Amino acid sequence: MLLYLIRRILYAVPIALAVGLFCFMLVQIAPGDPINAIVPPDAPQDVVEQVRRDYGLDKPLPVQFALWLGKVVQGDLGKSLATGRSVWSDLHSAIGNTLMLAFAASLLGFILGCVLGGLAGTFRGTVLDRAATTFAVAGVSVPHYWLGMVLVVIFSVQLNWLPAMGAGPGGSADWVWNWEHIQHLVLPAITLSVIPMGIVTRTIRGIVGEIMNQEFVTALRGKGLTRWHIFLHVVKNAAPTALAVMGLQLGYLMGGSILVETVFSWPGTGLLLNSAIFQRDLPVLQGTILVLAMFFVGLNLLVDLVQTALDPRIKRA
């Protein structure tokens, strides 16, 4: 297990370096000049050049990347071009809000997906199977930002049951564990959960259906085991794949919630990225994308390790 852990960490190092290079270059090749976010349009040319030198934007790209990577390794993500604040100070609370939203959405999607997929896989070809499959396909196909707007219209505007904006009363960005703040989490979590719910449902349905047709399940039935004990064996065999799918979905939700967070004005990394894109704030863009990408790499590593602990066949491989 220790050797497997070391090998997986060594594999993650070049991936992290490649992700860092990709984040740096992706932002650099975007159109527009980031200096426009700092100086007014009528600023003298010498002032523009001085600002460019102060931020190191006058150096060649390889030098900029080396300087940026050196600061990142030390935990310094730079300063925002638009606000002048440390990128990490803005990113710290945003990551917490996005992580909480992504975890709530993935947990809801995982529970619903496992229930629907398990029922559909167990009762293949029945009305229950077709209903669960239809629900899963609809969840994957419906644009989540459109679903978010529909939920806002129904539950916030017409019924006035749930708030539509912010993470707290009055559009607050500070999270507190009480009912007033939890209400703000309900609609965006439901909106984000439909895609992982659909994917997990389809995955679990296929796995359970395949396991139910295997010989060991027939042998368990022949030994007289109850349906509950057979179900536990099926769950044990389906758990590693389901866990891998859910781990990937959590990573996708961390980086793919920009539209949902914009719809609900949720103060997370998606809303921060949206503002940085329009302001052409390179340090915020680079820092946010890098942190989200590193989170995805670390999450994949964690899922691999948990899979290894659950499935001895992976250890032997």
- Lookup: tokens for 63: 């030098």
Task: List where CATH 1.10.3720.10 sits in the chain.
Answer: 93-279
pLDDT for 26-37, tens place per residue? 666 766 666 666
Total Cβ atoms within 10 A of residue 77: 22
Give the 3-state secondary structure of residue 79.
strand
- Lookup: tokens for 306: 């948990």
Strand partners, 143: none
CA distance 73 to 71: 5
Give the 3-state secondary structure of residue 189.
helix
- Lookup: tokens for 258: 């920009």
Instruction: Note the pLDDT of residue 78.
Output: 77
Q: State which residues of the chain have pLDDT below 70.
A: 1-2, 4, 26-28, 30-41, 55, 170-176, 255-256, 307, 309-317
pLDDT for 120-166, tens place per residue? 887 888 888 888 888 888 888 888 888 888 888 898 888 888 888 87
Q: Name the fold adopted by 93-279.
A: MetI-like fold (1.10.3720)
CB 142 within 8 A of CB 259: no
Instruction: Note the pLDDT of residue 316.
Output: 47
CB 310 within 8 A of CB 13: no
CA distance 32 to 85: 22
Instruction: Note the pLDDT of residue 174.
Output: 67
Amino acid found at 240:
P
Instruction: Note the pLDDT of residue 158.
Output: 87
pLDDT for 213-231, tens place per residue? 777 777 877 777 777 777 7
Of 297, 203, 298, 195, whose CA–CA distance to 243 is shortest? Answer: 203
CB 175 within 8 A of CB 167: yes
